[in-house]
Chain A
Amino acid sequence: MKEQLTSILEKTLNDIKAAESFEALDSIRVNVLGKKGELTAILKQMGKLDPEMRPVIGALANEVRQTLETALEEAKAVMTEKATTAKLVREAIDVTMPGTAPVIGKKHPTSIVLDEICDIFTGIGFTIADGPEVELDYYNFEALNIPKGHPARDEQDTFYISDNIVLRTQTSPMQIRTMENKKPPIRILAPGRVFRSDALDATHSPVFHQIEGLVVAKGITMGDLKGTLELFAKRLYDEDTKVRFRPHHFPFTEPSAEMDVQCFKCGGKGCSLCKGEGYIEILGCGMVHPKVLEVCGIDPDEYTGFAFGMGLERLVMRKYKIDDIRLLSENDVRFLNQF
């Protein structure tokens, strides 16, 4: 019996070594270790043995079983690993082929710059205000110290709906609408569409965007106006941006100014872009005119403020070096996809 066991062990170990599939291993296991297997058959004859031989043979039989089981497991593991490796080889792909990306839409360049500006100002205490695009003459002009017949009306070619209704030519009416409804301190930014009767060409559009800003509180100075707008310019462009403030005139601010940034192209030396001036105008601003505060029921002796307004499209065109404003409203996807 001992010999039988040894020979089964040897034969089976050889069979395992020779096996090439999981099925072969499985049949070996069944044939040797199964209920009807060779080893089981031998064990069933144990009863015929001498009692003193039984433990010896029993131990030997167990050892054979364990050895075979271990060998089977190991063989399986090796085979699994081989199979896995083979599968991975089969599954190899050309990773240099392009991905199947979902299409993600693009933000309009005008929106990109607008969002950037709104983020800058909300970060320093401004809220965003919104109002009608078809506006009362009162808000667009009268309350802003531009009575009927005022020459400033000529500078803003106005679309009229009726004698007292216009398409707003500026976002400044939001100053009035805000001050009528809100007590100081006020810090608002009012972006939006404005309209002027300029025919569409490379540099003009009858519909464009302005961004209006208004601050009213106790003790606001022109220094605050300068500091706030300098900070804005540095955030929008970069830390080294140089700006200058020049006296100007707007009916609804006094004193008034225009802010120029140093020309990006020539660094202030003067070139074709800045028409030799070294600076490019980007916005108009000033201290809120006391008459405007009064119209809104705010006491100019108690409160002061500043306001500013800028044209968005010009900032966008400068940022992306776009030379034709029509590209912004044509919405050619080949254009939009560039941003």
Chain B
Amino acid sequence: MKLPYKWIKEYVDVNVDPKTYAHKMTMSGSKVEGYECLGDVFSNVVMGRVEEIKQHPAADRLVVCQVNVGKEENIQICTAATNLKTGDYIPVAMHGAKLPGGISIKKTKMRGEESNGMFCSIAELGVTLNDFPNAIEDGILVFDEPTNLGEDVKPYMGLDEIIFEFEITPNRPDCLSAIGLAKETAATFGLPFKGHEPEIKETEGDINDYISVKIESDLCARYTGALVKDVKIEPSPMWMRQRLRDCGIRPINNIVDITNYVMLEYGQPMHAFDYSCITDKEIVVRTAKPGEQIETLDGNMRDLPENALVIADKVRAIGVAGVMGGANSEITENTKMIAFEAGNFNGVSVRNTSRKLGMRTEASGRFEKGLDAEKTMPAIKRALELVEMLGAGKVVGGLTDVYPNPKQQRVLPVEYDKINALIGIELSNEEIDKYLNMVECFVENGMAKIPFYRDDIERTADLAEEVARLYGYDMIPSTINAGETTQGGYTDAQKFEKNIKTLSMGLGYSEMMTLSFIGEKVFDKLHLAENDAKRIATVIMNPLGEDQKLMRTTSVHSALEIVARNYNFNAPMVKLFEIAKTYSPKLDENGKADMSVLPDEYKILTMANYGAGDFFAIKGAVEALFKALSIKNFTFEPCKDNVMYHPGRTAVIMTGDKVFGTIGQIHPVVAKEYGIDTEVYMAEIDTAVMFQLHEGEKVYKALPKFPAATRDLALLVNEDVPVIHLENAIREVGGKMLEDVKLFDVFRHEKLGEGKKSVAFSLTLRNSDHTITDEEVDKVIRKALINLEKKCGAALRS
């Protein structure tokens, strides 16, 4: 909300510099986002009158003027301007004047004639034709009315104004007005508010002879109307246009400007209809009919949404209530009689209508916050007062005021102790009363009468806020940790997650943070089949774009995008990780996403690298991570059917028969889709399962008392037998004495035969009772060999 300082000063005698004003208002709750001193753009430009104009003796295009600038002697100024005549009142930039654009004016000589200043055009003063519609664009600005010579021109140009920009919170629509902010100013500075009662001096006729009003929807709490006849449409006076401009509203004509002026002053949006366009002298406030259309003032034909509140006459809608008037009843140059409207329309309804129509106006922005129905009457009276003041027409006697359920004033008990306790201060009852009275919550016998315009004050907490902000938030003593103490800290799961991050970094992976959205095209890019479950995603109804329409069901895309970005910047090696969520909708009985319930969210650890080794490098990292986190009971199994991954270089990580992770090389074709021409490795692991599988409590095991024996086994086996199967075959029959099985060599050679490989394990055996004997070792080895033969077709290599 932009508001000029002078308008506030009309209602309260505040007299501090703008910086102090801004600070104090901010600290009492009306945040000033900034202020602008309009006149700062130039200095030392005074009012002058042209007394004499003579041709320059040495230049055809110049004239020499004698100018009265309120001093004993006239000054001489040369100019090339052609629109001047003797007696014109004009702005004179004196010697030493500063103009917009860093121009300074100095005494000079023009072709031998002294020139002691400069006449200014509107452009030279940094204003436009919009501000001075009567000025000549490329000539000197000539003032319409005589003024005091020698005075600063700024007041005459409306440029001695300071405009504050307030941030008004949605609970205070009353502050979207000069009066509202003036009341806040009065409360903030402890000054009286000087109210103004609008007066209409003369009326003619009776409104009831001209119009009737009917409300057919409870979305309209009140409709107040007035009529003005013998209207003369013309521009409004300079002061009014200036005020509108200062507040960011374009002046149009006297009637429309009055409605806007009153809206800015009282916070009550108004509208003016051309009376001649109201069919059958009747205004009906109703909801739109199915399929009903209206052309709004901006010239657009619009389909009225269902339940939109409209202002209509007998036959058609003539305005969208609280949003915009209709073109069919617009004020034009030929308008002779007008109907003013000050209505009170339901905020939620106006908000929905304006959203559906895609039009937010000054009026709708105010209505949707919920306005005070008591406001319509003073606002419409003010509008009529201004009509008289501007001589814009003759006011018809009386008002139409339909107000089916007049508001009841809210009265709240002042709970002094509670207010003090909530804020943490100890004010006396009198002090609390004083602060409440300052915001017109007048207290009598411990009961506060809440002003109509403060619908936001509903209970003690609201009264406490009024007291606290006027007392000063900065005055409240700071205390710490009152109330019962609590034990703070992280849960085991949170600590576990922190450990994953720390360890991942220790393994050389840097943390990334990616966005959560993907588009449908991503699934094609990842080569997912049409029926892949990952394609079933949570869909955003109002996405920013097609590529941000879905909540990701996999972290692979986000990670690949980041990898690709770094690859494009020629990073030689990239190791990144993230713990972030993927989202999977719950499915209905047809296997479709059920958007009526929350999706499942999985916190996934994603690790991605390139240029940092092969499959076994990332697998080693994951194994090291699992070991450090004491994760037990998991296996890696070959995985050939995940289309995002290389069919021969990918494993799933399982516990029992549940898959909780995938690790492998991204399919080269998929990598290529992202523009990556190198081997990318990735791991995606569900951290919740990791947490379940980790061994929390540790119990010490006695260190071995007797030495261990080691035995190496080189096994000849078919190429397609996974090493893990061999290892499992050994472990299955190893018994208590088999302490460890370690792969130490895989060897292929033509001597071994086609499709064969040699796999060598080192076995560690120990007996906890005594030094293990050769016989005991041999027995275990024999059993292992039998099982290897049986399960894997493996034989001891001779």
Name A residues whose Cβ lies closer than 8 Å to a Cβ of B.
102-108, 110-111, 115, 118, 121-128, 130, 132-136, 148-152, 154-155, 159-162, 164-165, 167, 184-187, 193, 195, 197, 199-200, 205-207, 215, 217-224, 226-228, 230-231, 244-249, 251, 254-257, 275-277, 287, 289-290, 304, 328-334, 336-337
A205 to B513 alpha-carbon distance, docked (Å)? 13
Supposing A134-B583, A224-B481, A332-B566 touch, asked if A247 and B507 sit within 8 A by C-beta, the answer is: no
Given A222-B423, A336-B510, residue A257 in contact with residue B473 (CB < 8 A): yes
**Residues of chain A with a CB closer than 8 A to B514's CB:** 329, 331
- CB contacts (< 8 Å) of A230 on chain B: these are 478
A151 CB to nearest B CB, Å: 4
Q: Which of B398-451 contact A (CB under 8 A)?
A: 421-425
Given contacts A134-B551, A246-B31, 10 further A-B contacts (CB under 8 A): A125-B481, A127-B488, A149-B351, A187-B488, A206-B548, A207-B515, A222-B468, A223-B479, A257-B473, A336-B512
Whether A290 and B459, one on each chain, are in contact in the complex, defined by CB atoms closer than 8 angstroms, is yes
Least Cβ–Cβ distance between A154 and chain B, in angstroms:
7
Count, A-B residue pairs, CB within 8 A? 265
Pick 14 A–B contacts, CB within 8 A, sort by A: A108-B513, A111-B513, A115-B498, A121-B488, A151-B369, A162-B595, A197-B542, A199-B544, A207-B517, A223-B425, A245-B474, A255-B461, A289-B461, A330-B562
Q: Is B334 an interface residue (CB 8 A)?
A: no
Asked if A105 contacts B461 (CB within 8 A), the reply is: no
Contact indicator B348/A149 (Cβ below 8 Å): yes
Interface hub of B26, B368, B424, B459 (most chain A Cβ within 10 A): B424
Cβ–Cβ < 8 Å partners of B459 in chain A: 290
A254 to B576, CA, bound (A): 44
Contacts known (A222-B422, A333-B574); A185 close to B483, Cβ less than 8 A:
yes
Decide: A161 and B483 in contact? CB cutoff 8 A.
no
Q: How far is the CB of B74 from chain A (nearest CB, A)?
A: 43
Q: Are A187 and B478 in contact (CB under 8 A)?
A: no
Query: Considering residues B33, B480, B505, B506, which has the most beta carbons from chain A within 10 angstroms of its beta carbon?
Result: B480
Determine how close the nearest CB of chain B comes to the CB of A260; give it in whole angstroms.
Answer: 9
Residues of B454-470 at the interface with A, using a CB-CB cut-off of 8 Å, are 459-462, 464-465, 468-469
Per-residue 0/1 for B474-497: is the Cβ within 8 Å of any A Cβ (1 yes, 0 no)? 101111111111111111001000
- State A118–B597 Cα separation when bound (angstroms): 31
Contact call B505/A104, Cβ cutoff below 8 A: yes
In the assembly, what is the distance between CA of A206 and CA of B484, in Å?
39
Of the candidate stretches B118-126, B131-139, B165-173, B664-672, the one touching chain A is B165-173
Task: Indicate whether B504 reaches chain A with its CB closer than 8 angstroms.
Answer: yes
Q: How far is the CB of A19 from chain B (nearest CB, A)?
A: 43
Are A254 and B461 in contact, CB atoms less than 8 angstroms apart?
yes
CA distance A128 to B498 in the complex (A): 13
The answer to whether A111 touches B422 (Cβ under 8 A) is no
Contact of B481 among A124, A155, A184, A277 (CB under 8 A): A124
B370 closest partner in A (C-beta) = A151
Q: Are A287 and B483 in contact (CB under 8 A)?
A: no
A290 to B569, CA, bound (A): 54
Counting contact residues on chain B (CB < 8 A from A), the size range is: 35 or more
Contact of A127 with B170 in the complex, beta carbons under 8 Å: no
Given A105-B510, A221-B482, A333-B510 in contact, is the A247-B465 Cβ separation under 8 Å? yes
A227 to B548, CA, bound (A): 41
From residue A181, how far is it (CB to closest CB) to chain B in Å? 14
Chain B residues with CB under 8 Å of A111's CB are 501, 511, 513
List of B residues within 8 angstroms of A122 by Cβ: 488-490
- Give Cα A13 to B691, complex, Å: 75
CB closest residue in chain B, given A245: B473
Find out whether the CB atom of B596 lies under 8 angstroms from the CB atom of A248: no
Nearest 10 pairs of A and B residues by beta carbon: A221-B424, A217-B483, A149-B348, A223-B424, A247-B29, A255-B465, A249-B169, A105-B505, A227-B478, A331-B512
Residues of the B chain whose Cβ atoms lie less than 8 Å from the Cβ of A167:
540, 551
Minimum CB–CB distance from A144 to chain B (whole Å) comes to 14
Are B601 and A134 in touch, CB under 8 angstroms? Answer: yes
Residue among B473, B515, B562 making CB contact with A246, cutoff 8 Å: B473
> Does B347 belong to the interface (CB within 8 Å)?
yes
When chains A and B are docked, how far (Å) is the Cα of A219 from the Cα of B420? 11
Question: Which residues in A have their C-beta under 8 angstroms from that of B464?
Answer: 254-255, 287
Taking a contact as CB atoms under 8 Å apart, the answer to whether B575 and A105 are in contact is: yes
Are B571 and A290 closer than 8 Å at their CB atoms?
no
B639 contact set on A, CB distance < 8 A: none
A248–B29 Cα distance when bound, in Å, is 6
